[in-house]
Every structure is written in structure tokens, then in C-alpha cells.
Amino acid sequence: MTGRSQQPSPSRAKLRRVLPVAMLLLALAGCGTNLQALMDEQNRLDWQVAEVLADDSGRPPGLDQRLLEAETAKIDACEPLYSSVMQRVDRSYEADGLSFGERFFADLQVLGALLVPIPSIENCAAAQEEFAQSYQSFEQQRNALGQAPLERPELVRASASAATQ
């Protein structure tokens, strides 16, 4: 028997402290929402819906009611996100712009939204999904009435898959 005590080396002790945190981050990865994909999807779908709604030739009154209600709900649910984005854009155009610390903090917030579900962002994503489904339903109703679809396949994607990429 040797008289040496079995103490872990300093690098093993660090590994034991870091490993649980790393495992937690890996478990959380992908649970949040990709903000860039969500905003891109909203932009595409908003333009497409505006184009379709502008062409009201022969559309029965009230056909677009569900779509307009879903759009209003999406705007209300996404208001905190829109406000945050606009504040950052406004700040970046000011004379002194964003400092390194402000950019770093904003990037950390985006990373946090990717890793951890944030209720306001998840509500926005859910409202966006409902809006996309309402639009698809609206297009199906238009097609059933014999109206030619204005849909462009490159602009329409399932927002759920885009938001989680």
C-alpha cells in the first residue's frame, strides 16, 4: 500500500465542474427560436399576404376575415420583438452607434433566445405559425372559388421549420 492520497488533478476537477454546465447547454441547444429565421419568414409571408389581399378581384366579402384576425394577433404577439429590433436599429443609426459592449450584449441575448425558450419570442413564433396556417387556408378557399393562386413557392415555407433552424 502506498501512502499517497487519491486526489484528482486540477484539470480533472475543472472538468468535473465544467462538464455538467456543458451538458446542460447541449440539452438546451435547439430548444429556443432562431430569431433571424423567424423575422425572415415574417417578412416573406407579410409581403405575400399583402400582395394577395391587394388583389381583391372577385373575392367574396369576409373571405379574408380569419387571415386578418390572425395577422392582428401576430402583430400583437410580436410587438415586444418588433420594438426591441427597432430600438437596436435606431440606436445603430445614431452618431455614436452601438458600442462594443452593447453589440456583445445583444449578441448574447440572441444566443440566449436560441438556447432557451423565451415566452415572448415563443408566443410570437406561435402567432406566426397560426398566421401562416390562416394564409394557407385562405389560399385553399380562393382556389376552391376558382381564383388563380398568386402564391410563389420560393416565398412560402412552413414557419415552424424556419423558426427552429
Model pLDDT, residue 163: 45
Q: What is the pLDDT of residue 132?
A: 94
- Give pLDDT, residue 4: 56
The pLDDT score that the predictor gives to residue 157 is 45
Give DSSP secondary structure letters for 80-149: HHHHHHHHHHHHHHSTT---HHHHHHHHHHHHHHHHS--HHHHHHHHHHHHHHHHHHHHHHHHHHTTPPP
What residue ranges do the domains of the chain occupy?
10-163
Predicted model pTM: 0.64
pLDDT tens per residue across span 12-58:
666 677 767 666 655 555 556 677 788 888 889 999 888 888 876 67
Closest C-alpha to 76, from 124, 121, 37: 124
The pLDDT of residue 19 is 67
Q: At residue 155, does pLDDT exceed 50?
A: no
Q: Which residue has the cell 415555407?
A: 157
Per residue in 63-107, pLDDT (tens digit) is: 889 999 999 999 999 998 888 878 777 777 776 777 778 778 877
Spell out the residues 6+ positions from residue 133 whose beta carbon is closer than 8 angstroms to its own: 70
User: Who wins on pLDDT, 150 or 56?
Assistant: 56
pLDDT, residue 91, reads 73
- CA 19, 25, 28, 30: dihedral to nearest 10 degrees? -130
Binning pLDDT at 50, 70 and 90, where does residue 109 land? confident
